[in-house]
Structures are given as C-alpha cells and as structure tokens.
Amino acid sequence: MRLALVFLLVLPLLPMGTPSASAASPFDEYFTAKTMRVDYFHTGKVGQEIVSLDEVVSDGPWAGSRTRLVDETNLGAYLFSVVDPQTQRVMYSRGFSNIYGEWETTPEARTAYRTFHESLRFPWPKNTVQVVLRKRQPDATFREVWSTLVDPNSRFVNPADRAPAGKVTSLIDNGPPADKVDLLLIAEGYRAEEMPKFRADSAKLVAKLFATEPFKSRMKDFNVRLLEVPSAESGVHQPRTKQPRRTAVGAVYNVFDSERYVLTLDNKSFRDAASAAPYEFVEILCNEEQYGGGGIFNDQATTSVDTAFAEYVFVHEFGHHFAALADEYYTSDVAYETGIVDRPEPWEPNITALKDPATLKWRDLVDAGTPLPTPWDKEPFEKHSYAAQKERAAIRASGAPESTMNELFQKQLVWDTKHLSTMQHSGKVGAFEGAGYEAKGLYRPEADCIMFTRDEVGFCRVCKRAIERIIDMYARP
C-alpha cells in the first residue's frame, strides 16, 4: 500500500489501556523490536501550518518501554498517536515540543515562512497504522494538524538500518533498554583525537546529574551511552562571533538570534547519528567555552562543556528535555514574545497562571498557612538581576574573554543564593510571581530552583515530582 495522507478521523481515538497480567501483551500484538522513524517537514508562519511527509525509515532497535505505550502525562505542545485504522484504538502515543513551536513565538514568524525538519519515533508496527499529529490549543485541547497511513511493508518504507556514525560506548549500564531510561550523549565539535576529552566531559556532567535529586535516588533506573562522532575541527558554529563550523550533527549558537541558545536545526543528521545507539533522550555535548545550551521536551538538549557553569547547564537543560520543565526565570533576554493577555493555564508542570488558588496543581505540597500567591522580595531581586543583564551585554559587546562573563555569573550566583534563601517563605512550596519569562501573571512553586537560578539549590519539590513521573513512565513495568 502506498503512503497516503488522511485528513479526517471519523471515529474518536480510543486508548489501548493497560492489560491485565493474563492478557496478551499489546506490544507483542502490534509491534516488533525495531524502531520506526517518520520524518516530515513542518512549515508555516503565524496562522498557517503545513506538515508534509519526508520519509519513513528504520531507526535501530526499540529502546522504549514495552508496557507504558500510551502517554497519559498531558505534557507537550504537540501529541502524536499511532492508531489502529480499523478500530481507531491508540496503540502508542507521546507528547512532545519542537523547534517549530518555539519559532512561532518569535517576531519572524509573523512575517515570514520557515520550514523545520522533525521526526516521530515509535515501535515498528506489524501492520498498517495511522500516525496522527495534534497541536495543543489555547484551551488545552489538541487539534489534529496532520495524519498519514504507514504500511510497514510498503516499498516506500525503508527497513534498513544505517551504519553507525561513530563509536558507541556505555558509561552506565543498569539493564535492558526496555526496562530503563536510556540517555545518549553525542560528541559535537570534538576532533577524533579529542574523544578522550569527550569521555571525560561526559563523566563529569553525568556525575553532576546523578548527584542531584531525584536522579541521585533513581540512578539504577538509567542507562547512559556515549556516541563519539568526530568533527573536522574543534567547536561548533557561532554566527555572532563569526566562528563558522560544519559539525557532525549541526549544533549552532544564536538560535532565533538569542545569544546563548544552542540547538541543532539539522534534525536528519542528528537523528541519523543517534540511531547508532538505543535511546529515548539525548543531550548533545558541544566542545565550547562560551556559555550556552538548550532543551526541548522529548526532542533534544545541548550543553557547552567548557563554561564554568557547564554542570548547571547540563542538568537544567535536561530538566526541559526530560520532564517538560519550564524556565522559571523571567529577567533574562530570550527570543520569545508571548503577548498573551488572557493567559491559559500552562501545561508545564512547574509554572501556573494561578487562576484559582484552591485548584493549584501542586496544592497538595503547600503547607497550611502559606499564602497564595506567596510574597517574596521581588523588587530587589529584579533590580539586581536587570543590572547584571546590562553588565553582561556590555561584556559581550566589548569582546572580553569568557572568563569575565563567568566571573559576573559567579557574583550573581552568590547574591541570588543569599537573597532567595533568607526570605520569610524561602524553602516553602507556594506560588511565587515571576516565571516562564513573565514578571507578572505566571508563578513558580518555590522561591528558588535550578530552573530559576544557577544556585546549587537543585530542583524544587514540584520539579522533583515531575521528574520522577517521567522516570516511572520509562523504567517501571
């Protein structure tokens, strides 16, 4: 059967549910142990969105859960489902976010079209399936934006595996991929002779991740692998500083012209390289000194390894990628422009619009007597933070060495730690105004968290719970 586009679903999609112990495994009934990857082009501008199929290929062995097939987290800006076209039963689903969705919030999206390459990965089906892509609406419901039928036996589907792009080694091995969270670290901007540095950088950053709760207590639920993909020269592409590079998976600074935002926009190269190893989550290690990184839920995370704050960036960006945690800071320059007046409740687990304090999504963690919203010393924090932003801009404009920027960040860390830890409600769960790039109208769970500042405070209790929920989704029967 040829691949065909389907634009209308006649029946509602029915989740498969969790089988009883005596029932046949849905995974074995519907899927094989391979991974199918559906690549597509995502094109549009504000108010117009087009999705078109690129290709369907094998993406290596299936590393994901064989029991938690249907996503019940309600996370992500998008949701895709793999559906039995005969019964309309959902066989597999996952929420995710993407670069396209972030680009929609930039000024460019109001006047220009752009195309981004994206991938959906799921177990290789035994029979024809319908792949349905939905987008979250302002009222939190999902609207279908694209659907296609995929016949795994079609001549238009390529079941061949790619030759590995580089050497795969195991840093942490706690068991079969299907029973664990599988994290893959990819070398980016490392020459072949620099791979010992990549291994050392990986070990240092992973050690920090598993020294941070709740990852520390759940380390046995993870496998970590390294992919050594050599580049022709050290470093990654930096448009603003005019340091051009062409690297293995295409990581680049200044995404959306934001100074420190690092991602790969070359999704096909990235996915083709990653197919060498079993994985569910990926962090790309960029062999760079300049502070930078990025993280998108169920898509990718990146970290510059030689900044003084590399360990913080690694853990912070993994929080975005792994558990859909929102940025809680709001005084730093970002590329996004929300412009929202009547703000809906965010879907991210760690920020809220606090429409009704009685139904706050982390209300069970709030101690009796803690006011909602929760007062904090917001004005002096903003004054100090905005002054630091101006100083940072001056340092960058002067072309000063990265060590000067690190010194500024270190001074700011000391001030933030003292200020945020000595207030009346420090260390308590509440609703502290200022989050998600917004000074007003959005609230974070605690005064401080690794998603808010560079402090050594770690994840707040709400973020910890959100992380454990995702670990359970991939590493529990």
Domains of the chain (ranges plus CATH)? Answer: 4-158 (2.60.40.3250), 167-323 (3.40.390.10), 357-469 (no CATH)
- Looking at residue 16, what is its pLDDT? 57
CA 276 to chain centre: 20
Q: What is the pLDDT along the chain (477 residues), one digit of tens a residue?
A: 333 333 333 345 656 554 444 456 899 999 999 999 999 999 999 889 999 999 999 999 999 999 999 999 999 999 999 999 999 999 999 999 999 999 999 999 999 999 999 999 999 999 999 999 999 999 999 999 999 999 999 999 999 999 999 999 999 999 999 999 999 999 999 999 999 999 999 999 999 999 999 999 999 999 999 999 999 999 999 998 888 999 999 999 999 999 899 999 999 999 999 999 999 999 999 999 999 999 999 999 999 999 999 999 999 999 999 999 999 999 976 645 555 557 899 999 999 999 999 999 999 999 999 999 999 999 999 999 999 989 888 988 888 888 898 898 899 999 999 999 999 999 999 999 999 999 999 999 999 999 999 988 999 999 999 999 999 999 977
Say which residues have a Cβ less than 8 Å from residue 397's Cβ, sequence separation at least 6. Answer: none
222 SS3 class: strand
- Looking at residue 5, what is its pLDDT? 37
pTM for this predicted structure: 0.93
- Looking at residue 13, what is its pLDDT? 61
Find tokens 């950053």 and name the residue. 205
DSSP 275-314: TTS--SEEEEEE--SS--EEEETTTEEEEESSSTTHHHHH
- Looking at residue 4, what is its pLDDT? 38
Report in angstroms the alpha-carbon separations of 1 from 151, 152, 240, 390, 430: 6, 9, 48, 60, 55
- Looking at residue 14, what is its pLDDT? 57
- Looking at residue 259, what is its pLDDT? 87
279 is written with which tokens?
């994985």
Find tokens 């991938």 and name the residue. 119
- Looking at residue 211, what is its pLDDT? 98
- Looking at residue 168, what is its pLDDT? 98
Q: What is the 3-state secondary structure (H, E, C) of 167-198?
A: EEEEEECCCCHHHCEEEEEEEECCCHHHHHHH
- Looking at residue 23, what is its pLDDT? 53
Find tokens 């709400």 and name the residue. 462
CA geometry: angle 427, 325, 353, nearest 5 deg: 75
- Looking at residue 174, what is its pLDDT? 97
Helix (H) or strand (E) holding 472: helix 461-475
- Looking at residue 277, what is its pLDDT? 97
Report in angstroms the alpha-carbon separations of 99 from 79, 350, 379, 413: 14, 21, 33, 30
